Structure formats: structure tokens, C-alpha cells
């Protein structure tokens, strides 16, 4: 086993709390009094803070980070980091010149699968605009990891929507995150899980395994990430690293354990003025998860939801059930994968994903 502990720190740099969309999932912009819409610290303070970690990873985040594209350019020009990543809806891609796009090691574009699903949740014609952004990046010479970042909710058919994104031939990897834990959109969450999501995951794993057996590694982030955790020694943290080796820098310089945990006091772990990366407070998942046999792989799944149980117990138990189900389905592939590696039908380097914390959460 290879140890994955002691990883470089990932910093979500929020460029603005504003967003140019009003997706059904979140309703658009953060409340300005909690996540400021403008960066109020000076660039030198950010530079001094981040460069104390020579292996730091920066992920530009929002709101919609491209609303403040000029700030992104300044960071890319003046702040040293080992890797740069951006999570964006892509609609404002023209605000960032190609030379800055090509400094990114990974770009996560928000797209939920088929046009009808994406547009239902994100707005009319959003699907076409995201595809346009992806094609622009490819034509502009982007050589990094282009990731389709799906939000999954009741209108999603996980098998059909993921296969659709694969068929486009645009994305190197596909990741999905379930809209669970605080969402009010669901009509029958448990029924959807049992009747649609779990059968879809089983079909998707079968497809993925068959492709592996033919020598093709399809870049499905949850499956690759779970497989990597199954094959390696890992620490007792959520796979995203929140609160341990991943933190969020707010536009006012406050540092949080998680970028979505802006409304809770336990998430406030320091600031860029009086702290260094090495002395930020750490936040652990609750002990209740640590007795579960899946904890080594799941890591508590999500720090925010682990701490803030906003859904009722029945629904939260269902979240755990589908997480365990997904892990078990990938576990069932483990012996086949090891055999394929031994026969050199697939390459171990293609399975090593993510190679650094690129802000994909791994566990949906």
C-alpha cells in the first residue's frame, strides 16, 4: 500500500460570492453579508500566505469565479503554486485570455448531463454554452484535465447522463455530486435512490468494468477515486480533504474548513493575515462515522453534512446506503483490475486519479 497522508494543501480561493446563474440547486449568489462579492485583501497578503506552502494547490471558486477574472489573472501572474484549478459554469469563459486558461492544470465545468437535465436545473441554453466553452478550451490548446462536474438530483438518470457526457468526447473525466443533505428539491429521495440511482450505478460500473477489460480506462472520477482509496493507505478525512488539507479563502481573507460551510462557526479556522498554512485549525468528522467499516474509503463523505445534519435521519441513512452501495460496486471490480494490471491490459498510471487534490470530492 502507498500512503496518501501528508498531502499538499488545497486552497479554494473565492473570487466573489456572486454568480451569474440562478440554478435550482442553490438559487444563485451567496448572501453578500456572509460571502463578500469583492476581494478586499491585497494580493501580497494572499501571496505571503499561500507561498509558505511550496506545494500549494489553488482552486478558483465562487459564486462564479470568472465574474472576477481580472483577479484570477493577477493570482496566476504573481502567486506561486504547484497546481492551479478552476470550478466554473463556463459561461464567462471569454473573460479569461487563453494564456491564462493554459496555466490551469484542471478545469471543472458545471454540466449535469443531457441538455434537458442541465437546462432544467441551470437555465435555458446553459447546456449549449457549456459545450461551447469546452470546445473553446480544446481549440485554444488547453492540455490540462477537463472535467465535467455534474450536480445530480431527481431528474438525473445517472447512467444515461454520464454516458451522454462520455459520448461527447470533450471531457477527460466526469464527476458527479449528489444534491443531498440540505436540498429541498426532492419529492421522493428514497424512491429515486432505490428505483433509479442504485440501478444506474450498477449499470455504470458494469459499463466501466467492461471498458477496462477491453483496455480502456474511462475517466469516471468516483470510480477511479474509490478504487485508488481501496488500493492505498489513506488518512481519516473526507476525500476532498476539507478541514485537514483543503481550506477555503474567503474574499475578505477569512479561512474556512470548507467553501460551502460559510454559515457555521466551527468552519472558521483562521485568516490569511495572522495564520500560516501550517497553523490553521483542523476540523475532524464526527466520531459516529469512525466506527463504520466504510469509513476508510468514505472518510465521512462530506464534512459539512457530517457536522450539520439538516435532513431527517431516514434520508441521511439513505445517503449512507447509496455511498456504501457505490463503494461495494467498485470493490467488486478490484480483483479484475489487479488481474488486468498484472496482464498489462491497463496501465496503473491511468488508474492513479486524482494525481493531486484537484477539488473533485471523489465520493458523490
pLDDT of residue 235: 73
CA angle (159, 187, 288) in 5-degree steps: 80
What does the block give as the cell for 13? 480561493
- The series of mean pLDDT values per 10 residues for the chain, 364 residues long, is 63 97 91 94 98 97 98 98 98 97 98 98 98 97 97 98 98 98 94 98 98 98 97 85 96 97 96 96 90 94 92 96 98 98 96 97 96
The pLDDT value recorded for residue 2 is 42
Q: Please list, in sequence order, all residues whose beta carbon lies within 8 angstroms of the beta carbon of residue 34, skipping any fewer than 6 positions away.
A: 17, 262, 263
Q: Where are any strands of DSSP class E within 197-347?
A: 246-249, 254-256, 268-271
List the domain boundaries for the chain. Answer: 10-351
CATH of region 10-351:
3.20.20.70
pLDDT at residue 222, rounded to an integer: 98
Q: Return d(Cα 162, Cα 164) in angstroms, integer.
A: 5
Q: How far apart are CA 320 and CA 326, in angstroms?
A: 10
For residue 30, give the DSSP letter.
Answer: P
CA distance 68 to 53: 25
Give the CA distances from residue 294 to residues 268, 289, 319, 322, in Å, rounded to whole numbers and listed in that order. 28, 9, 13, 12
Strand 145-152 relative to strand 173-178, pairing: parallel
Give the distance from CA 281 to its chain's centroid: 22
- Taking the C-alpha atoms of residue 67 and residue 95, their distance in angstroms, rounded to an integer, is 8
In angstroms, the Cα distances linking 183 to 37, 180, 310 are: 24, 6, 9
Q: Residue 27 has what pLDDT?
A: 84
pLDDT of residue 40: 97
Length in residues, the chain: 364
Q: Judge contact between 353 and 228, C-beta under 8 A.
A: yes
Please state whether beta strands 268-271 and 254-256 pair in parallel, antiparallel, or not at all (unpaired): antiparallel
What's the confidence (pLDDT) of residue 42?
A: 96
Q: How many CB atoms lie within 10 A of CB 147?
A: 24
List of residues 6+ apart from 218 with CB closer than 8 A: 166, 207, 208, 211, 212
- The helix (H) or strand (E) run that includes residue 135 is helix 126-139
Q: For residue 201, give every residue at least 6 positions away whose Cβ sits within 8 Å of its Cβ, in sequence order, or none.
A: 158, 159, 322, 325, 326, 329
Q: Which phi and psi angles does 256 have, rounded to 5°?
A: -115, 160
- For strand 254-256 and strand 246-249, is the pairing parallel, antiparallel, or unpaired? antiparallel
Among 93, 175, 105, residue whose Cα is nearest residue 134: 93
Amino acid at each position: 500500500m502507498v500512503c496518501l497522508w501528508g498531502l499538499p494543501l488545497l486552497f479554494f480561493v473565492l473570487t466573489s460570492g456572486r454568480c451569474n446563474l440562478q440554478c435550482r440547486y442553490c438559487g444563485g449568489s451567496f448572501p453578500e453579508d456572509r460571502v463578500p462579492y469583492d476581494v478586499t485583501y491585497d494580493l501580497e497578503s494572499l501571496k505571503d500566505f499561500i507561498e509558505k506552502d511550496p506545494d500549494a494547490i489553488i482552486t478558483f471558486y465562487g459564486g462564479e469565479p470568472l465574474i472576477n477574472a481580472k483577479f484570477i489573472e493577477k493570482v496566476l501572474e504573481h502567486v506561486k503554486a504547484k497546481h492551479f484549478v478552476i470550478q466554473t459554469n463556463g459561461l464567462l469563459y471569454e473573460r479569461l485570455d487563453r494564456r491564462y486558461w493554459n496555466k490551469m492544470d484542471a478545469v471543472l465545468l458545471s454540466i449535469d448531463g443531457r441538455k434537458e437535465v442541465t437546462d432544467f436545473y441551470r437555465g435555458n441554453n446553459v447546456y449549449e454554452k457549456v459545450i461551447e466553452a469546452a470546445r473553446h478550451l480544446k481549440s485554444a490548446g488547453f492540455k490540462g484535465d477537463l472535467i465535467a462536474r455534474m450536480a445530480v438530483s431527481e431528474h438525473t438518470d445517472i447512467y444515461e447522463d454520464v454516458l451522454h457526457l462520455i459520448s461527447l468526447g470533450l471531457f477527460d473525466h466526469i464527476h458527479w455530486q449528489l444534491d443531498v443533505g440540505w436540498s429541498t428539491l426532492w419529492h421522493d429521495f428514497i424512491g429515486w435512490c432505490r428505483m433509479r440511482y442504485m440501478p444506474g450505478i450498477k449499470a455504470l460500473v458494469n459499463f466501466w468494468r467492461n471498458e477496462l477489460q477491453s483496455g480502456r480506462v474511462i475517466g469516471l472520477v468516483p470510480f477511479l477515486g474509490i478504487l485508488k482509496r481501496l488500493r492505498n493507505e489513506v488518512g481519516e478525512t473526507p476525500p476532498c480533504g476539507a478541514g485537514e488539507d483543503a481550506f477555503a479563502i474567503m474574499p475578505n481573507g477569512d479561512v474556512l474548513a470548507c467553501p460551502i460551510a460559510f454559515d457555521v462557526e466551527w468552519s472558521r479556522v483562521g485568516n490569511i493575515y495572522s495564520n500560516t498554512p501550517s497553523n490553521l485549525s483542523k476540523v475532524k468528522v464526527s466520531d459516529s462515522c469512525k466506527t463504520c467499516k466504510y469509513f476508510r474509503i468514505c472518510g465521512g463523505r462530506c464534512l459539512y453534512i457530517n457536522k450539520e445534519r439538516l435532513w431527517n435521519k431516514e434520508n441521511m441513512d439513505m445517503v449512507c446506503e447509496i455511498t456504501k452501495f457505490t463503494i461495494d460496486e467498485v470493490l467488486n471490480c478490484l480483483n479484475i483490475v489487479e488481474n488486468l494490471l498484472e496482464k498489462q491490459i491497463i496501465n496503473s498510471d491511468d488508474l492513479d486519479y486524482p494525481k493531486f487534490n484537484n477539488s473533485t470530492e471523489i465520493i458523490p
